[in-house]
Amino acid sequence: MVEHEKYMQRCIELAELGLGNVSPNPMVGAVVVLDDKIIGEGYHQKYGEAHAEVNAINQVVSKFTDYSELLKKSTIYVSLEPCAHYGKTPPCTDLIIRCQIPKVVVGCRDPFEQVNGKGIDKLKDAGIEVITGMLEKECQWLNRRFFTRVEKQRPYIILKWAQTEDGFFAPDDNSQHWITGMESRKLVHQWRSEEDAVLVGKNTVAIDNPQLNVRFGPGKSPKRVIIDRKLELDPNLNIFDQSVETLIFNEIKTDIAGKNKYIGLEDFERYVPQYILFQLYLQDIQSVIIEGGAYTLNTFIEAGLWDEARIFTGKTHLKKGIKAPILTGKTAGEFTSGTDKLVILVNG
């Protein structure tokens, strides 16, 4: 079992390399092992391209002239159940069966209806030994965004904010006040590159004129989601610069202007977070990081619609201002970021 865990951990490490590039697909890693040695490995690198199992097997094919005989004696480890249906690519189960790999070790089942046990059953029906549940919790956590979208029909929600040491979110005079240092700002830009969308309310846009991009780090900028009920924001603000797709939720119109998409909600009095998240789900947005302001964050908190919270506490004091949101959850980690403290909470 220790041997199995070692190779499954490698699958997880490989899968994480796809973060930010494979949504709405899951992140998956695979390794092919023969005689306690990895002879091929791969991961799902980009949405619509080859899956992890294909890349791992192809590496064996490219490295060894006798690949066919080697695969017939090997074990393939996969962090997520191999697919059994035709999507953007053919079923991975068919490739494993065709290569006559005798044993498959799976991290966790795929909750997607077209897979969910069907891949495992197909392999077993072909006479392949299948071991399931290897580092299952770790594999499920790896794909928490994917699991949330499939099981709850909404994106995975990450709340992010910074607060002063005395518990304030921002000044109450609409002025800007940096709470965190440059290390934390760079980290936030890295996080943005890992998620599908970043969401803020009207006041944050009006006061800070943010770009909501990843200029302090590598990777792609996320889609931008803005809540502007009465469409009061100045069209010359950075968020309307057409650099990335921007969704503006409002009660006035539904329209498209280049990359700016106006989505009208009929009822802005009730269930606004639910309506917004359902629309994002329909557009294959698998994860969203909500960066503010305090009213917007509290709206999602009060609705119970959050999965993870990343809270910075800076060394500064405001003594008065807008109070930071109060959240209870399970502590998943505590870290330092420059001179700032970072606490990560999970819901439930």
What is the full DSSP assignment across 102-137?
Answer: -EEEEEE---STTTTTHHHHHHHHTT-EEE--TTHH
Instruction: Select which of 3, 5, 53, 151 is catalytic.
Output: 53
Phi, psi of 54 (to 5 degrees): -65, -45
Residue pair 33/103 in contact (Cβ under 8 Å)? The answer is no
Catalytic site includes residue 53: yes
DSSP-derived pairing of the beta strands 156-163 and 129-131: unpaired
Q: Show Cβ contacts of residue 343 under 8 Å, excluding neighbours closer than 6 positions.
A: 310, 311, 313, 331, 333, 334, 335
Residue pair 209/237 in contact (Cβ under 8 Å)? The answer is yes
**Of 245, 171, 242, 182, which Cα lies nearest the Cα of 208?**
171
Triad 161, 18, 239: Cα angle to 5°:
45
Query: What are the Cα distances from residue 199, in Å, to 52, 226, 267, 331?
Result: 31, 6, 19, 23
For residue 28, give both structure tokens: 């998956």
* Angle between helix 2-15 and 52-63 (nearest 10): 100
The three-state DSSP-derived secondary structure of 264-311 is ECCCCCCCHHHHHHHHHHHCCCCEEEEEECHHHHHHHHHCCCCCEEEE
Catalytic residues: 53
